Amino acid sequence: MKIVMLGAPGAGKGTQAKKIASNFGIPHISTGDLFRVNIKNETALGKKAKVYIDQGFLVPDDLVLELIEERLGMADCKEGYVLDGFPRTIPQAKALDHTLNNKNDKLEYTIEVDVPDEVIIDRMAGRRACLSCGRTYHLETLRPKAEGICDFCGSFLILRDDDKPETVMKRLEVYHKQTQPLIDYYRERGILHTVDGTGEIEMIYQEIINILV
Ligand code: AMP
């Protein structure tokens, strides 16, 4: 099962992607997480990507494709995956189609998690992330058991630079300009499904499961 999650930054697509991945036993692949690991490890790719990420811009397509193609070539991707944060531009979507076509394969579902910008700005200001394992929490809606500490790995939680309000506004602008055209791209291919992302996490998840089974 090959699934792409679409939605603005902060729409909750990562949370849903992790639940889907664990339910179907397929990997959750977040390009944002892959970049953050590279930044943390100070790789050449991480150093180049950080400049864009910290300002709320998209990382150039060639760097993203280098990263994702390597990941999709790994053994655990054979039975499928949930892509979260990729593709984010039409050239990325076309590159993914091309890679899949070459293997006589195709995407089966794209799930758009739809949330208005005002709700997103509120949500992101309260989001806290674990820099070690990438899990995210929220000061009001998804609190860790111990304040400021990741439930899973015990590391400190932080407000990511790219979740700061000024960066969020920039990221939303970038989303509407560069990523939203993908909605039409996948709608035309008949694989787009849209869910309302403003409700409870579990309700949204149920709606997605109804689409996938
Ligand atoms: P995310 O955690 O998915 O919101 O990603 C964090 C940041 O990483 C984004 O704001 C972009 O700067 C960068 N990024 C992640 N995925 C992509 C992608 N597919 N294309 C370009 N930039 C990306």
In a domain, 35, yes or no: yes
Total tally of structural domains belonging to the chain: 1
- Active-site option among 36, 127, 128, 135: 127
Please report the pLDDT score of residue 166 as a whole number. Answer: 87
Residue 49 lies inside a defined structural domain of this protein: yes
| Domain membership flag for residue 201 | yes
Report the relative pairing of strands 109-114 and 28-30 from DSSP bridges: unpaired
Question: Probe ligand 1: pick from 13, 35, 182, max atoms within 8 Å of CB?
Answer: 35
How far is Cα 46 from Cα 68, in angstroms, rounded to an integer?
Answer: 14
C-alpha closest to that of 208 among 27, 31, 77, 12: 12
List the chain pLDDT tens, one digit each, 213 residues.
999 999 998 899 999 999 999 999 999 999 999 999 999 999 999 999 999 998 889 999 999 999 999 999 999 999 999 999 999 999 999 999 999 999 999 999 999 999 999 999 888 889 999 989 989 899 988 899 999 999 999 999 999 888 888 889 999 999 999 999 999 999 999 999 999 999 999 999 999 999 999
Is residue 148, in this structure, part of any structural domain at all? Answer: no
Q: Is residue 57 included in any domain, yes or no?
A: yes
Helix (H) or strand (E) holding 198: none
Q: Structure tokens of 51?
A: 């400049």
How far, in Å, CA of 102 to CA of 133, rounded? 33
Q: Is the CB of 10 under 6 A from ligand 1?
A: no
Q: What is the distance between the alpha carbons of residues 187 and 194, in angstroms, rounded to a whole number?
A: 10
Within a domain: 15: yes
38 CB less than 6 Å from ligand 1? no
The active-site residue out of 2, 88, 128, 135 is: 88
Per-residue confidence (pLDDT) for residue 151, from 0 to 100: 97
Distance 59 CA to ligand 1 centre (A): 7
Range of the domain at 96: 2-117+161-212
How far apart are the CA of 47 and the centre of ligand 1, in A? 14
> Cα angle at 36 between 33 and 41, to 5 degrees?
130
Note whether residue 21 is domain-resident. Answer: yes
Q: What is the CATH number of the domain that holds 92?
A: 3.40.50.300
In-domain check, residue 126: no
